[in-house]
């Protein structure tokens, strides 16, 4: 029995097609198209690729999206002014600052400058607070992608054991928070799993212990082949958020996740591939967040 492969690419297509229809309906009701502004500072090639993918997805679903490029030598003050101008612009629904920003800038300050209701990355401290209190909010897209995949592939979480490997504040932490969300709370998420958070100081034998006990393993470390077949309970769901470029003996490069995919898929009940798993769904959920921001802005202006 091989694991069900959770095809994030196909699911992302479904999610984007649904969004496209919803946005078309929204526009047909007389609203302008949702709009997204992606700020990128500097020349990092990977960052430019990410932003291009986001813009392409936005155009596909009917979001008016633009990239705003700045020189790597831009000052933090100038960036903050630029963000504030977008905050004040009623024609802009979603704002995203591609990370990392240049080292001369305070990343946290930049994230907190984006108006919380336009913060489609969910990195503003108020959105983090709302998420942590299990309130309705904008959730970081990668974390939301994982949760949406669990929901759409009907992976049961209620009363189940989940392990999150990696405690980063943009990925592991929000995933763990949502996995143990309480159905009584306002977000309505209510996943009700028992959750263990492992990290680089979890001893190897303890990581094995928690993973072997888990019904759901979510890994987000960037360490290739960290999760091996003998660490996975037969039938468990394995969600791989890691993405690392590796070079083989003959110099070819490829993208791999944190999971020893070929071996683990013989044991797991369901598994996400890398590439083609969480990655495409992350971009789709960013579009979901942008449409949500557009609706929030409309609601705010109606009050």
Residue ranges in contact with a copy of itself by CB under 8 A: 108, 125-135, 158-159, 161, 167, 169, 173, 176-177, 180, 182, 192, 194-199, 201-203, 206, 209-210, 213
Q: Is 186 a known active-site residue? A: no
User: By C-alpha distance, which of 195, 197, 201 is closest to 215?
Assistant: 195
Residue of 121, 215, 258, 260 with catalytic role: 121
Q: Which is nearer to a copy of itself, 127 or 290 (CB)?
A: 127
Residue of 16, 54, 233, 265 with catalytic role: 54
Whats the size of the chain, residue-wise?
A: 303
Q: Is 98 a known active-site residue? A: yes
d(CA 131, CA 289): 14
CB of 240 to a copy of itself, least distance (A): 20
CB of 183 to a copy of itself, least distance (A): 9
What pairs with residue 245 in β-bridges?
255
CB of 134 to a copy of itself, least distance (A): 7
Token code pair at residue 4: 């069900």
CB of 254 to a copy of itself, least distance (A): 30
Q: Is 260 a known active-site residue? A: no
d(CA 165, CA 211): 9
Residue of 98, 215, 258, 292 with catalytic role: 98
Torsion of CA 178, 180, 182, 185, to 10 degrees: -30
Q: Which is nearer to a copy of itself, 103 or 253 (CB)?
A: 103
CB of 81 to a copy of itself, least distance (A): 20
User: By C-alpha distance, which of 40, 43, 36, 54 is closest to 92?
Assistant: 36
Q: Which is nearer to a copy of itself, 58 or 241 (CB)?
A: 241
Q: Which is nearer to a copy of itself, 26 or 123 (CB)?
A: 123
Q: Which is nearer to a copy of itself, 176 or 238 (CB)?
A: 176
What pairs with residue 218 in β-bridges?
164, 239
SS3 of 144-169: HHHHHHHHHCCCCCCCCEEEEECCCC
d(CA 33, CA 172): 32
CB of 18 to a copy of itself, least distance (A): 30
Q: Which is nearer to a copy of itself, 128 or 284 (CB)?
A: 128
b/e 246-274 (16+ beta carbons within 10 angstroms → b): eeeeeeeeeebbbbbbeebbebbbbbbbb
User: By C-alpha distance, which of 141, 151, 139, 157 is closest to 241?
Assistant: 141
What pairs with residue 161 in β-bridges?
194
Token code pair at residue 151: 């929901």
Write out the catalytic residue numbers.
54, 98, 121
């Amino acid at each position: 029995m091989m694991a069900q492969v959770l095809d994030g690419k196909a699911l992302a297509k479904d999610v984007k097609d649904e969004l496209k229809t919803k946005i078309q309906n929204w526009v047909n009701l007389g609203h302008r198209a949702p709009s997204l502004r992606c700020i990128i500072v500097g020349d990092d090639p990977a960052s430019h690729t990410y932003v291009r993918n986001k813009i392409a997805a936005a155009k596909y679903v009917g979001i008016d999206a633009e990239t705003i490029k700045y020189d790597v030598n831009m000052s933090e003050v100038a960036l903050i002014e630029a963000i504030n101008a977008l905050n004040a612009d009623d024609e802009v629904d979603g704002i995203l600052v591609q990370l990392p920003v240049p080292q001369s800038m305070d990343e946290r300050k930049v994230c907190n400058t984006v108006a919380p209701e336009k913060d489609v990355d969910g990195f503003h401290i108020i959105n983090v607070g709302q998420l942590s209190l299990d309130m309705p909010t904008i959730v970081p897209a990668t974390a939301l992608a994982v949760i949406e995949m669990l929901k759409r592939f009907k992976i049961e979480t209620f009363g189940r054991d989940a392990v999150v490997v990696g405690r980063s504040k943009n990925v592991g932490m929000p995933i763990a928070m949502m996995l143990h969300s309480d159905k009584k709370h306002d977000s309505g998420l209510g996943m009700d799993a028992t959750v263990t958070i492992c990290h680089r100081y979890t001893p190897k034998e303890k990581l094995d212990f928690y993973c072997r006990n888990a019904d759901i393993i979510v890994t987000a470390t960037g360490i290739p082949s960290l999760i091996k077949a003998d660490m996975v309970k037969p039938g468990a769901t394995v969600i791989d958020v890691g993405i690392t470029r590796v070079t083989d003996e003959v110099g070819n490069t490829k993208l791999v996740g944190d999971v020893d995919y070929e071996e683990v898929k013989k044991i797991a009940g369901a598994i996400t591939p890398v590439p083609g798993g969480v990655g495409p769904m992350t971009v789709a959920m960013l579009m979901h967040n942008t449409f949500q921001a557009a609706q929030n802005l409309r609601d705010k202006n109606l009050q």
